[in-house]
Amino acid sequence: MTGHFYNFFIFLYWFCIHLAYPFSHKARQWVKGRRKWKQKLLEITNSKEKRIWFHCSSLGEFEDGRTVIESCKRKYPSIKIILTFSSPSGYENLKDYVFADHKMYMPYDFKRNVKAFIAILDPCAVFFIRSEIWINYIREIQSKKIPFYLISLNLDLNSRFITWPFKTMATKAFKAFDLIFCQNERTVSLLSKLIGHQNLKLSGNTRIDRILEVSGQQYVNKRISDFIEHSFCILAGSITAQEEKIIYKAMNNLKQYSIKWIIAPHEINKKKIEASVYRNPDRIMSLSGTNEPHQHEIMYVDRIGILSQLYRFANVAIIGGGFSKKGIHNIMEAAVYGIPVIFGPNHRNYDEALELISGNFAAIYHNAKDLETAINFFYDKRNDTLFHHEIKELINKRTGATERINLILAGRLNVLVS
């Protein structure tokens, strides 16, 4: 992919979002959030301040870098943290995040925007999180010789950055980073074939540190507790419409267990959830509803940002995304509580998924029959204390990525902020 083609692609991307503006709430957030960005940036910057810029795509990517952001702010409280997002799912849900001094949308990756943004912000260091590769920004940061880091990169053989048509341009982009912190050996191996080993560091997955932190926090939700009572509970997290249909089909063949089902759609549509409750009020309820739990079988989660806390109530988790090109969503948020996980076929060879599968702590399903078989197996394990302890240990042994990154960065950042 050439630079001209990339710039055309960015323009087409911008055009399509504006085209969707009248019809899509997300597109409207995307466009409105970027209006007058230059004025907003000028208002929050001061020439006497030193600033570190963290950028992530959305809420999920933010969680991958969150522990690094927070440890940076704790260690250097006088430094201003500027946090930007590409997607509304990050910005709209983190307006009150206290470890960033300022939050905003990242302006579109047009050359004129990039030059103005970097000139005004004038960061002493820049961190991109996981999969954010914006070519014009990367070129400008490199040309200004600003220390530049990529956190929590995870690649597999199908990653768009190492396949056509993005491979050539992505290779140049990866070379621009001073250090790239990789989640696993596979990523190091794949990337080293493109750019060598010089700027690659094996850190592990920072998201696990955050997940362990969340799991240790106290969380009480009487409505969910009253709904479950003493029943076996299955939580389907971040699921698509296709996965929901399969779950409902399996649900009808598992009546003998009196299972309580908590369903958290990936895209929460409150009107759709309200319609489901209205059609079957004795069977289905919503988390934020007002009716009292009374022999209800299904609860829909209609709030954003609490899913990682809710897994603690479940005996089994069904993780969404396994039937999409992007692959499964985060399975560790559930496994940290010692519960087995079930997901669709596209687990993208994530290390944690492979290890859970090999230990019989996870199962893959292609259809309702597979899902029923997996649930039957894990239902029989419900009182196996050792089984659940081993799942927890699998996650616990993968912690420490944030500390490893901080140790490597300490010398570099100390010089920058002094």
What's the CA gap between 99 and 80, in Å, rounded? 9
Q: What is the pLDDT of residue 65?
A: 95
What values do phi and psi take at 347, rounded to 5? Answer: -100, 5
Over pLDDT 70: what percentage of the chain?
99
For 162-169, what is the mean pLDDT?
86
For 207-233, what is the mean pLDDT?
95
What's the CA gap between 169 and 171, in Å, rounded? 5
Q: What is the pLDDT of residue 60?
A: 86
Q: Mean pLDDT across the chain, nearest whole number? A: 94
- Report DSSP letters for 172-221, one per residue: HHHHH-SEEEESSHHHHHHHHHHH-STTEEE---HHHHHHHHHHTS----
Asked if 187 contacts 197 with a C-beta cutoff of 8 angstroms, the reply is: no
Torsion of CA 213, 216, 221, 226, to 10 degrees: 130
Torsion of CA 145, 150, 151, 155, to 10 degrees: -170
Q: What is the pLDDT of residue 397?
A: 93
- What is the pLDDT confidence band of residue 309, given thresholds at 50, 70 and 90? very high
Low-confidence winner among 48-57, 110-119, 156-165 (lowest mean pLDDT):
156-165
For 288-307, what is the mean pLDDT?
90
What's the CA gap between 230 and 222, in Å, rounded? 13
Asked if 318 contacts 247 with a C-beta cutoff of 8 angstroms, the reply is: yes
What's the CA gap between 4 and 79, in Å, rounded? 37
Low-confidence winner among 80-89, 138-147, 151-160, 224-233 (lowest mean pLDDT):
151-160
For 41-56, what is the mean pLDDT?
91
For 188-198, what is the mean pLDDT?
92
- What is the pLDDT confidence band of residue 158, given thresholds at 50, 70 and 90? confident
For 331-359, what is the mean pLDDT?
94
- What is the pLDDT confidence band of residue 1, given thresholds at 50, 70 and 90? low
- What is the pLDDT confidence band of residue 15, given thresholds at 50, 70 and 90? very high
Q: What is the pLDDT of residue 277?
A: 93
Q: What is the pLDDT of residue 362?
A: 98
What's the CA gap between 375 and 168, in Å, rounded? 44
For 279-300, what is the mean pLDDT?
92
| Residue 20: pLDDT over 90 | yes
In sequence order, what are the residues at sequence separation of 6 or more whose Cβ sits closer than 8 angstroms to the Cβ of residue 301?
A: 262, 263, 264, 265, 268, 286, 287, 307, 310
β partners of residue 167: none
| Residue 134: pLDDT over 70 | yes
What's the CA gap between 80 and 291, in Å, rounded? 45
Q: Give the rounded distance of the alpha carbon of 408 from its chain centre.
A: 24
β partners of residue 150: 128, 180
3-class SS of residue 229: coil
Buried b (16+ CB within 10 A) or exposed e, 325-355: eebbbbbbbbbbbbbbbbbbebbbebbbbeb
What values do phi and psi take at 244, rounded to 5? Answer: -60, -40
Q: What is the pLDDT of residue 351?
A: 86
| Residue 408: pLDDT over 90 | yes
For 31-46, what is the mean pLDDT?
94
Q: Residue count of the chain, please give it.
A: 418
Q: Percent helix, strand, coil in the chain (nearest 5)?
A: 50, 15, 35
For 221-233, what is the mean pLDDT?
95
Question: Could you give the angle at which helices 3-20 and 135-143 cross, rounded to 10 degrees?
Answer: 130
For 376-404, what is the mean pLDDT?
96
The DSSP symbol for 312 reads G
CA angle 280, 283, 284 (to 5 degrees): 75
What domains are defined for the chain? 30-204+400-417 (3.40.50.11720), 214-396 (3.40.50.2000)
Q: Cis omega before residue 345 (within 30°)?
A: no
Read off the tokens for 379: 């239902």
Low-confidence winner among 104-108, 267-271, 339-343 (lowest mean pLDDT):
267-271
